[in-house]
Chains A and B, each alone.
Chain A
Amino acid sequence: MMCAGCIAKIEHGLAANAGIISARVDFGAKQVRIAHLPEVELPQLVTMLDRLGFAAHPLAEAPPPDAEQRRLVSALAVAGFAWMNVMLLSVSVWSGAAGASKDMFHWLSALIAVPAIAWAGRPFFVSAWRALRRGRTNMDVPISIGVTLATAMSLYETATSGQHAWFDGAIMLLFFLLAGRVLDGAMRARARAGASALMEASAPGATILAADGSTRWVRADAITAGATMLVAAGERVAADGRIVAGESAVDASILTGESAPASLAVGDHLLAGMLNLGGPLTVEVTAAGEDRTIAGLARAMEDAGQHRSRYVRIADRASRLYAPAVHTLSVLTFAGWLLAGAGIYEALQIAVAVLIITCPCALGLAVPVAQVVASGALMRAGILVKDGSALERLAEADRVLLDKTGTVTLGRPQPVDLDRLRPEDRPAALALAQASTHPLSRSLARALAADGVVAARLSGVAEMAGEGMTGFDSDVPVRLGRPHGATHGDGSHVAFARGEGVQQIIVFADCLRPEAAAAVAGLGQLGLGSTLVSGDRLEAVSPVAHSLGITAIAEARPADKQALVERLGQGGARVLMAGDGLNDGPALAAAHVSIAPSSASDVGQQAADMVFTGDSLIAIPRAVRAACATQAVVQQNFLLAIGYNVLAVPLAMAGLVTPLIAALAMSLSSLIVVANSLRLAGVAK
């Protein structure tokens, strides 16, 4: 989807089909939401979009609308409105309004600020209360105490027509902090939309053969054991089962990491998630839904991901020190002034001024602004970061585990020696390859088109399942497909033949991603040692490891990978796991931080903290470098915020801070922190 024309074409084009009630495009997320009659089935919708010229992937499930973010934006708007109006009144007081008009301005401020604080401060109050109830503190505790005390004292001041009211300070604080939260949420929402747009539901369903011979499309979660399922060439298997008819080459790399397709025949077992490369298969379902092997892996992943929630983000770690320090300081101030002979009221006033001036305004912005700017830069470089804590964890990583198939390699077969195909045969081969959806054909078509070959005009092109494509090039029959003869049994060879001529064999193999060696070297320079972990055979793994100059572990099952990650973690290493397949899922979830290519299975993308688009592996060291730079800026921001406190707190403790000074100091320190964070805009270059 590129432009307004595409939106109109999709929406009007879909609506013109029978059975479609409405279609609505979400351009930002690159999704279309279709309301249709029950008789229209999923594959038909994909075909309709295909006919309009758009490749569509059904989403496994529709993402729920983001209510949390909406609430935050709405609170931010309220705080902004109240802040501006209270500030207007405060400025008049500061510039000398006195007597009855000052009291009136204070009352008006109270009228605006108190409901606004109650409404806009709710996210902080709720989170602080939740933390306190469990006997912990977080950043929201000092914020809530500061804001509540400041509001209460200002109300008292207003009622007794006192000198200073702090309504503007309290609401300004909420505004800045809410801005930080909204930015944080926007980053997560953007990454989630991006990741789900890339997400390809591996097999949303299957064609089920009923007892009376009719076929019907059934969603994966509605398939039951004992049913008979038809799996066409190029389709993913939706449920575990046993082959009852047909034979074919099957790509099981999603489950095992094994790159070479396996030849399966009647009686062999198929697992959900495998890709059928050859002929059509009839499969008797033995396990569906939650009983599938694939679902078991998903559960293992969920368990392994539990430790993530125990990770304490840097802002909360800072607040563990910060909150007690601030509260001690203001209690000391209160006691000090009492001892020095001031009245209770005066001492309380100064103690509250200390609380307000130390309220973590800049601290609340220090982390989210830096992370939002950095993740925006990374997104432009093709790396989606799912949340801010992923950047923090990535900066801490000191060890890399790389999966082979699909991560270090492209995970799709590439023609190895195209030169063996005679130049005069290439246009015809391209024309045949383009007409097929078989993975080898698509790969061949891509490679030939990249070489500048123009497809020949063929007539009578037909696909014979399991055999290949045939057609006529100016009345000479041409064929592209499974090689004849016993020597080339497996699925990674394709033969092209013209007329009665000799068949030309094209060999396919999985290649390294571009810049894979440079990426591993770059990671080494950053102090991260790499190890290759693969489910593939040793003979397939060792040449890859050799060319990258790293050690390798072969024939690792999913549980082995997870165990390795956990063992390294217990040894004190912080592991960055890079993997793509379902077999990497548990390891991705168990690792300290993880990254997956966008070509990964949806399970892999969901388990990983980051997803990189594009083929080049150089994205991994780039992301690590950006994360380190972000962490450096976050630390600078903390230093700036603490430096500001070091300057302002003695003033506040001496009782010299007025609301005017507090307002100036808070906005200035926030601006400096934001400006410092903006330096990260070019971090992903």
Chain B
Amino acid sequence: MTGLVFLIPIALGMGLIGLVAFQWALRSGQFDDPDGSALRILVDDDEPDRIL
């Protein structure tokens, strides 16, 4: 039984962290353009625009 005192708060805390992370991601607009975000990872922003 004493195990529950630790396990339940840990389980809830981990769930809450996930929830807060999701809300933050939603609010900062990370779900606004999912197709674009998937492609942006391929864009090399470190390179200066020499070619263009």
Contacts and interface: CB of A to CB of B under 8 A. Distances in A.
Interface of A: 3-4, 7-9, 12-13, 15-16, 25-29, 65, 70, 73-74, 77-78, 81, 84-85, 88, 101, 108, 112
B43 A81 contact: no
Contact of B43 (A8, A73, A78, A85): A8
B40 A101 contact: no
Interface string B10-37: 0110011011001100110001111110
A108 B8 contact: yes
Contact of B39 (A4, A78, A81): A4
Given A12-B52, A81-B18, A28 B34 contact: yes
A74 B30 CA distance: 13
B31 A73 contact: yes
A28 B39 contact: no
Contacts of A7: 36, 39-40, 43
B19 A28 contact: no
A74 B15 contact: no
Nearest to B25: A77
A15 B43 CA distance: 15
A116 to B, nearest CB: 10
Contacts of B1: 101
Contact of A28 (B11, B18, B27, B35): B35
Q: Which 8 A-B pairs have the closest CB atoms?
A: A27-B36, A4-B42, A4-B39, A8-B43, A81-B19, A28-B35, A12-B49, A28-B33
- The majority secondary structure among interface residues of chain B is helix
B7 to A, nearest CB: 11
Contact of A4 (B11, B15, B18, B43): B43
Contacts, number: 58
Given A28-B33, A77-B22, A81-B15, 16 more contacts: A3-B39, A4-B39, A4-B42, A13-B52, A16-B49, A16-B52, A26-B33, A27-B35, A27-B36, A27-B39, A28-B36, A65-B32, A73-B31, A77-B23, A81-B19, A84-B15
A74 B11 contact: no
Contacts of B8: 108
Contact of B52 (A9, A81, A84, A101): A9
A436 to B, nearest CB: 28
A8 to B, nearest CB: 4
Contacts of B44: 8
B18 to A, nearest CB: 7
Contact of B40 (A4, A65, A73, A108): A4
A88 B15 CA distance: 12
A74 B26 contact: yes
Q: Which residue, of B11, B15, B34, has the highest number of chain A Cβ atoms within 10 A?
A: B15
Contacts of A4: 39-43
B29 to A, nearest CB: 8
A154 to B, nearest CB: 19
A74 B32 contact: no
Contacts of A112: 12
A100 to B, nearest CB: 9
Contacts of A101: 1, 4
A252 B19 CA distance: 56
A25 B32 CA distance: 11
A73 B23 CA distance: 9
A8 B41 CA distance: 11
A649 to B, nearest CB: 34
Contact of B33 (A15, A29, A73, A84): A29
8 contacts: A16-B52, A70-B26, A74-B23, A77-B22, A81-B15, A81-B19, A85-B12, A85-B15
A162 B14 CA distance: 30
Contacts of A27: 33, 35-36, 39
B50 to A, nearest CB: 10
